Structure 1
Amino acid sequence: MEPVYPEFVPDGSLARGEMEALQDDIAEAAVFEDDLDFDPDRVTIDRDSDQRPLADADPPVIAGVDQAFLEDDRAVSAAVALRAGEVIETATAVAETAIPYIPGLLSFREGNAVLAALQALSVTPDLTVVDGSGRIHFRQAGLATHVGVTLDHPTIGVAKNLLCGTPREPIPERLAEGERIPIEADEGVTAPDGTVIGYAYQSRQYDSGSTSINPLYVSPGHRISASTAVDVVARTCGGYKLPEPTRLADSLADEAKGTFE
């Protein structure tokens, strides 16, 4: 995949105000509604599932990307493409992290590595799940949105922590597996107050009430709605906390670090 909008490729040399202005432009270009070339109800990571597409239809290819970091300020990004739970291709890439970690500017630190890994795939995924936020972002332009708009490609952001926004109802210490709570825009987000910008989603939970697993924070990146994004993530977790595409990408990124050291 090559950038459709190269003017949005992350540039770590920009001043902070310029980065934030670019994010405003990206958010304006983003589509937070379903614009998909496949049926999201057919997404599965279970090869034997009756949710698999019919024999005369191509199963959707879902990719995951995640990053690991080297001591010399480089990011290693790994991309894993799956079709109905089967890994069909993997790719890795490395890029310098031009800026330190700054909340809200993650795409300018990791985005070029992510783009390079996706460009290294010979297969074009139908959708990519990104380890990071999408619309759950101060300017509605997290890593998943930045990558998705640059490539004009459907993306979902899956984060482990809530960057901004307000849960529609308080998140209890222990959510039941499968529960989801809408995350709404507030005064810290450029979307109108009350806009659903994503979901807290409990992908997995321990049987015992003595310990708890934290929820994921799922948001649309580009060309997908918040509700469809969390439905797709629910279909791809397979008993793990993380969606299978990003879980495998996380492992691959850690393995690939040795290649680039």
Structure 2
Amino acid sequence: MTMQPVRPEFAPDPALDRAEMESLQREIAETATFADDLSVDPLDPHTLVAGVDQGFSDGTATSAIVVTRGGNVVERVHARVDTEIPYIPGLLSFREGGAILAALDELSTDPDVFMFDGSGRIHFREAGLATHIGVMLDAPALGVAKNLLCGQPRESLDEPLPEGTRVPIEADGEVTAPDGTVIGHAVQSRQYDSGNRYINPLYVSPGHRLSAETAADIAEHCCDGYKLPEPTRLADAHAADVSRK
């Protein structure tokens, strides 16, 4: 593996009980940096962005990582690992982490930024999948989720948003961050012109070494005519393809 875990003590262990998992997440959140700390311009076309997504079939998790540079695929890898626990909201990293670490072991490139299909700071304990793995690798990471796990949008999301709109997601009583802290954004990456149908926003949050604003910039920059950013869209397709086979 190109990127060895800097904090292996944070490896997601599905054998922990729920209280132990939540305690570990709080420790991870305290270690995380939710501010920009990058050695590259994340919007530069030469930046290596790794999309990470999972597929599930017959009790097995398939983690796919697709590394892109300027919209072009540089590397595709995957790994399959048996799942040991069911899906539990807020504890996704303990179900998917083993497969992700196994897929990381297959990487030969050294990504500048990791983009996860899941949450980062938009999480009850500020330690979603992107934060958990990002802190463990000490790598810039962001989460791009399709649904809002927690937090309060600053404006109503009940009506379709115009393309390009961003609505801050603030911490509330469900989140360990102080009330009103911006923990991510609802990002309207694409929208139909017709009023008969609409596209829901993405929920983008920093995982580690990124600010909420920069995480949204990266996600929006990586969209190429689709709702999902290309790195995670391609990783999703690769995971699905491997799972089918």
Cα shift at 1:39: 1.1
Query: Are the aligned partners of 1:3 and 1:150 in contact in 2 as well (CA < 8 Å)?
Result: yes
Whichever residue aligns with residue 56 of structure 2, its letter is F
Query: Are the aligned partners of 2:51 and 2:65 in contact in 1 as well (CA < 8 Å)?
Result: yes
Match of 2:10 in 1: 8
Whole-Å separation in 1 of the counterparts to 2:243 and 2:142: 25
Deviations 1:195-247 (A, max 9, x none): 00000001111110111111000000000000000001110011100000000
Is 2:217 the partner of 1:217?
no
Match of 2:224 in 1: 238
The alignment's TM-score, normalised by the length of structure 2, stands at 0.97
Cα shift at 1:113: 0.9
Whichever residue aligns with residue 25 of structure 2, its letter is Q
Identity across matched positions, percent:
63
Cα shift at 1:187: 0.5
Match of 2:47 in 1: 60
Is 2:181 the partner of 1:179?
no
| Paired residues, number | 243
- Partner secondary structure for residue 40 of structure 1: coil
Whole-Å separation in 2 of the counterparts to 1:3 and 1:228: 24
Match of 1:159 in 2: 145
Match of 2:104 in 1: 118
Query: Are the aligned partners of 1:181 and 1:200 in contact in 2 as well (CA < 8 Å)?
Result: yes
Whichever residue aligns with residue 122 of structure 2, its letter is I
- Aligned with 1:130 (options 109, 116, 119): 116
The runs of at least 4 aligned residues of structure 1 exceeding 2 Å deviation read none
Cα shift at 1:111: 1.2
Query: Are the aligned partners of 1:173 and 1:212 in contact in 2 as well (CA < 8 Å)?
Result: no
- Partner secondary structure for residue 105 of structure 2: helix
Whole-Å separation in 2 of the counterparts to 1:95 and 1:150: 19
Is 2:44 the partner of 1:32?
no
- Partner secondary structure for residue 37 of structure 2: coil
Is 2:143 the partner of 1:141?
no
Whole-Å separation in 1 of the counterparts to 2:37 and 2:172: 26
Whichever residue aligns with residue 36 of structure 2, its letter is D
Cα shift at 1:182: 0.1
- Aligned with 2:56 (options 50, 69, 85): 69
Whole-Å separation in 2 of the counterparts to 1:140 and 1:34: 17
Cα shift at 1:98: 1.6
Cα shift at 1:119: 2.5
Unmatched 5+ stretches in structure 1: 43-51, 53-58
Whichever residue aligns with residue 119 of structure 2, its letter is S
Cα shift at 1:258: 4.0
Deviations 1:138-158 (A, max 9, x none): 000000100100111111100
Deviations 1:130-181 (A, max 9, x none): 0000000000000010010011111110000000000011113200011010
Cα shift at 1:40: 2.5
Whichever residue aligns with residue 148 of structure 1, its letter is G
The alignment's TM-score, normalised by the length of structure 1, stands at 0.91
Unmatched 5+ stretches in structure 2: none
